Structure 1
């Protein structure tokens, strides 16, 4: 049995994102526990845990493996298929989790997390490609963006599992949650067995009958001659024919003049998503809230609230990102995050004091700055508002946007390159933040505020709108010097290609063409309303 419902397909595939979320909160919830600190202690002070540099290395090791795997995942995906690449990632995760949960020392822990990173690198790069190549244009944003929602759920679930296990005495407090991480990977592997391969990958391998069958299953409701299936298959044929006659699919093509602009946009989408400062909130929120005077169970419970906010605030993006568009979502998100980062920097500078070399409590040097009273509550509130700004914007859109930018022949490799940039900076920031809190203290927030300002400017002047367009139409937006009539020329003049904007011919709404573009919801909405044939303007 092969599943053809795009929502069920996405729900299974995005479990790969949940694995990344599991890793994030398993570290953030565990690094503050005495069991972890005592077992992996360094130095002469009992139960002080690893040094800030070593803890940064432990945290960043997963990102290091993810960077390496993401970089090569495009080759694996292009050779064996999107589906098999994701299944391979799930097997790697199980192996890494076994090593992590059995860790006898810091070296073994780092190796296990590095292997786990191989899975996250493959899945984080290829799951968006897989879903984007299966989803209709009108639903692509919400389906690909669901990967970020899976990440937020993974963070939330594993945090509370780790929190519950923190009451266990001995090393089981961290071995149990690290071992439980294997369960979703097993579910991902089994679920992928029932999913179809990407029709665009099948077409690239000249398996046209299989590609047609997948399109019929997923989009045609069993009808191989449905308008959407017919149009999609023809677009794929045209694109494959063009690519065979005019271009190669080598990795170096991404750096040629006609592709370099897209390469830089995709890569910087992922770089900026890391430089927002979300790493500070996800990996090291216990340090931040310790500076605000929280400790013990209050510290862990208060930290978990941001994970709940992350889950809830991702939902609006899944529902409306295809209507809002990619550009406005990224721009507003950058403004919001910049505001809360600068606010936290100002609060810590104005009302905080240096906590000494041992940090707050004398055992956490990363909690180097102390703030009390109402300003401490304001720091916590700004931290929550920062997460609420990231969750519906850069969180999901950083996964949605890159797969939409590239032609079929290099999509796997291009998204792999962009995702590898994500993990390179994830690694750098995972390693950088603990020493930064120790050495530059509150100025850490100032740095991330400036990054958010820079990304706002960059998005405004360089990132075009891709929402609502088929993957083949996005290609024409970059290759046609004039651009299609509904797109415009400069990035800040581009628009969302909804059925109302895209499917207007001779002043009338073309229902047959709307169905061919996959805009079934707009057709139904139009049929239910009395518009007298008038198509609303954007």
Structure 2
């Protein structure tokens, strides 16, 4: 791990470069605008999850679908994850063969179709089918967008931008929470149809500019079109100067790394994650990142906050929606705050401190819930609510790292497939929690929390023994932590030719 660079500088290929003021460069301003459009894609995902939480509080939605609970309520939520798991089957092949941008367009079209069907759903079957289609489109977009951000962003801001991409989940959750609170006053089925329609706005915003978003230079190099890669880097990172020192260093680093990957293997299959110690360690990390993001207890609040509030005596629809809005606002602010400290604090320390904090909060949450079930004291219910906020403060410290850390530890040839494995683990865990949580809460109430306390303890052990620190290490050089210093040495030797 490199030392912190001096103020106003960043590392690339073991060398210091001065940071550029992007707002003074016309092309970089456009690039950051395009990256913002990509970042917004995760807003739609966050909107959907928070919206489904809010809809359960709306009487018109409950009446229209005959007050679903237990397995039926779980199916309403988990079918979107089933759609996502279906989309993951062909995603890496689309990304590697056709590029990142076609996947964005295809996923957006699926999402708009799902939004239309969900908003106009006439019955249970139509609503469930719409959410399956939404899941297919959602996974195509939210897997592709962070990879493209990581591969077109200037190296000086790459980590922060990819982390913000993950954190904007809460931007959508924030908007959805207050939208459903506002539509509570609509005295018709438009109380739940309106939020569904609004969900499509974020996808339309990205589609409006996707034509001008640059394709990944790493994709161009992998498809034997290095001149397009160099042109993209020069245009957006150096105002068109192909001989710029930073551009030449980036270009050499990318072409050398991909050439070395090709030399090591002609093609990458999923089984390659099992063939070397370094790849097996990558596999443990990407799977655990996905599983831990959803199986840490957060799914209880993300989808079934109304059930938890009912269990501690907060039963008013207005009060529940206000708490949902306050929590998503809190999550949005804290998530964005933590995004700007990932390089300052480091990835591994954030993961460890965050998970330990989550465990402590969840243990207290469980104890207070058990005491409330016995005594029914409202102060104990307030204590549970306070613990939920403290738990999310800790969770938000690491939640933005899901995208950035996964992209950092994977070389280009394995990035699409590795990111797909992470998302598969994430959505498989999400499917489990969405379906099982309401059933478990119905049957064993607060005792179900004990499972998450035990699982959080397991997470700490996995993070401690397997996670590596990657801060200040360029994207193409992280391989040395998994495959040894020799691989990085070859790359650095080639890079010295442009020094």
TM-score, with length taken from structure 2: 0.89
Deviation of 1:6 (Å): 4.5
Q: CA deviation at 1:173?
A: 1.1
Q: Which has the higher contact order (CA 8 A, sep 6+)?
A: 2
CA apart distance, 1:256 = 2.1
Instruction: Using the TM superposition, name which of 371-380 and 95-104 deviates more.
Output: 371-380
CA distance, structure 2, for counterparts of residue 323 and residue 341 of structure 1: 27
- Whether 1:192 and 2:197 are equivalent positions in the alignment is no
Deviations 1:232-256 (A, max 9, x none): 1111111222222221223332332
Match of 1:438 in 2: 442
Secondary structure of the corresponding residue to residue 213 of structure 1: helix
Equivalent pair of 2:479/2:487 in contact (CA under 8 Å): no
Q: Distance in 2 between matches of 1:88 and 1:144?
A: 22
- Which residue number in structure 1 is paired with residue 463 of structure 2? 459
Q: Give yes or no for contact 1:289–1:303 (8 Å, CA) kept in 2.
A: no
Task: Answer yes or no: is the 8 Å Cα contact 1:87–1:188 preserved in 2.
Answer: no
Gaps of 5+ in 1: 42-48, 354-369, 486-501, 503-511, 517-538
In 2, the alpha carbon distance for the partners of 1:178 and 1:404 equals 34
Q: Which residue of 2 aligns with 1:364?
A: none
Q: Aligned residue for 1:25?
A: 50
Q: 1:216 aligns with which of 223, 234, 241?
A: 234
Instruction: Tell me if 1:75 matches 2:93.
Output: yes
The one of 373, 382, 387 equivalent to 1:377 is: 382
Does 1:308 pair with 2:320? no
Paired with 1:135 and 1:468, the residues of 2 have a C-alpha distance of 15
In proportion to residue count, which structure has more helix?
A: 2
Structure 1 window deviating more from structure 2 (416-425 vs 370-379): it is 370-379
**How many residue pairs get matched?**
466
Match of 1:226 in 2: 244
The within-5 A match list for 1:514-529 is none
- Residue 369 (structure 2) aligned to one of 332, 339, 348: 348
Q: 2 CA distance for matches of 1:158 and 1:412?
A: 30
**Correspondence for 1:533:** none
Question: Are the aligned partners of 2:27 and 2:236 in contact in 1 as well (CA < 8 Å)?
Answer: no
Q: For residue 531 of structure 1, what is the aligned residue in structure 2? A: none
- Alignment partner, residue 35 of structure 1: 60
Please state how far the C-alpha of 1:257 moved relative to its aligned partner.
2.6
Contact 2:284-2:466 at 8 Å conserved across structures: no
- The aligned runs of 1:338-487 (5 Å cut-off) are 338-353=359-374, 371-393=376-398, 395-480=399-484
**Is the 1:249–1:410 contact (alpha carbons within 8 Å) kept by the matching residues of 2?**
yes
The question of whether the paired residues in 1 share the 8 Å contact of 2:177 and 2:324 is answered with no
| Alpha-carbon distance, 1:115 to partner | 0.6
* TM-score (normalizing by structure 1): 0.83
2:272 maps to 1:253:
yes
| 1:170 equivalent in structure 2 | 188
Per-residue CA shift, 1:74-109, capped at 9, x if unaligned?
Answer: 111111111221122111100001111111111111
Kindly state the Cα deviation for residue 4 of structure 1 after the two structures are TM-superposed.
Answer: 6.1
Aligned partner of 1:88 in structure 2 is 106
